[in-house]
Structure 1
Amino acid sequence: MNPYVRLLTEAGPLAAFFFTNAQAGIMTGTAVFMVATLVALGVSWHFERRLPVMPLVGAGFVLLFGGLTLWLNDDLFIKLKPTLVNLLFATVLFAAHFARRNVMKHLLGTVLALTDEGWRTLALRWAWFFLLLAALNEAVWRTMTTDAWVNFKVFGILPLTLLFSALQTPLILRHQVTDEEQASAR
């Protein structure tokens, strides 16, 4: 998929949520977020003929918690969504670690080639990061206005995630397996 289309499918629903919330409030923003999420999945399917696991899980949560928000007319549910998604991801990564399975390798193994130690370290770092994001989301929605929470969701969580991802580069480079090493391991 074209990188710009990929960026649009990944960040577009969040941008739509942000702008609609600013213009029409959290309920309309939530409805637009749900529709934009479904459109993004449709675009992903159109270009790749598959639905990536993480966006699919995220979409399920958006539809479930967005639906509860609209049905019950209570923004608590859409505010809880990031906490629960991040807790789910952290739980999966920690459980897989203790079961000596590597979910990250399964999800990213076609993009990255790392040593087993590299995959374990990367997975644990992401698990802890997801816990941090869950705690931050809880602190922000419980102590700030809804508009401040939406701003944090767009201008806090997203940049923090991009920064955290970039900070993993030294680990990835240190544990990267070359094509020759992969070939000799087969």
Structure 2
Amino acid sequence: MKQFIDFIPLILFFIVFKLEPRDVELAGQVFSVGGIFSATAVLIISSVLVYGSLFVAHRRLEKSQWITLLGCLFFGGLTLAFHSETFLKWKAPVVNWLFALGFAGSHFIGKQPLIKRVMGHAVSLPEPIWVKLNIAWIVFFIVLGAANLFVAFTFHTIWVDFKVFGSLGLTLLFLIGQGVFLSRHMQDMPTPSNKE
């Protein structure tokens, strides 16, 4: 459920982007709907609403959610302020590279790799496997960021499609590969002993 909630702003962005541009009157005001700039405004507003609601409900956001929200506000705000989609095209690569940096930094800061902090409660693996898995996430986020950057500045007509469906597809493929990798290395989780 949480993963779906994180995709709501992106889905709304995609829908509004694909609309044929038109003017809509609402409460006596005329708004332009359709295209990159109204889609960016919807992305910002929906991100604030979604992550604001999550923050109110849980009294916290995960670091990845903060990074995503701040990326939307920063790059989306610049896109609207300067009326240039170039800023928004940089959002996905920069956010992915920040995630890669976080995973890489966990090798030097803290007692365990970031992926173990995230998944260690559910999966038991030998320590060298956690390190390999963390490195795989670093490489994945670097490659995903580079792919987003390449498509955004090379294929101008499909970059939004790739941002939504290409990134999601690559992420699903990576997760399936990770599942296959994990299935070969998982250990039985220790069970708590019952003292009666």
Bin the TM-score by the shorter chain: 0.7 to 0.9
Secondary structure, counterpart of 1:97 in structure 2: coil
Query: What letter corresponds to residue 13 of structure 1 in structure 2?
Result: P
Q: Is the 8 A contact 1:9 1:43 kept in 2?
A: no
1:12 maps to 2:8: yes
Return the offset for 1:124: 0.5
CA distance in 2, matches of 1:17, 1:71: 18
CA distance in 1, matches of 2:113, 2:104: 10
1:94 is matched with 104
Return the offset for 1:31: 0.9
| 1:130-169 mapped onto 2 (5 Å cutoff) | 130-145=141-156, 147-169=157-179
2:71 is matched with 61
1:116 maps to 2:112: no
2:43 is matched with 33
Query: What letter corresponds to residue 180 of structure 2 in structure 1?
Result: P
> Does the C-alpha gap of structure 1 residues 164 and 116 become closer, same or farther in structure 2, counting only changes over 3 Å?
same
Q: Which has the larger radius of gyration?
A: 2
> Does the C-alpha gap of structure 1 residues 81 and 70 become closer, same or farther in structure 2, counting only changes over 3 Å?
same
TM-score (norm 1): 0.85
More helix by share: 1
CA distance in 1, matches of 2:192, 2:104: 30
TM-score (norm 2): 0.81
Return the offset for 1:97: 2.7
CA distance in 2, matches of 1:7, 1:96: 23
Return the offset for 1:143: 1.0
Runs of 4+, deviation exceeding 6 Å: none
Q: Which blocks of at least 5 consecutive residues in structure 2 are unaligned?
A: 20-33
> Does the C-alpha gap of structure 1 residues 47 and 166 become closer, same or farther in structure 2, counting only changes over 3 Å?
farther
> Does the C-alpha gap of structure 1 residues 111 and 16 become closer, same or farther in structure 2, counting only changes over 3 Å?
farther
Return the offset for 1:98: 5.3
TM-align CA RMSD: 2.1
Secondary structure, counterpart of 2:125 in structure 1: coil
Q: Is the 8 A contact 1:117 1:175 kept in 2?
A: no
Between the aligned residues of both structures, percent identity stands at 34
Return the offset for 1:52: 1.7
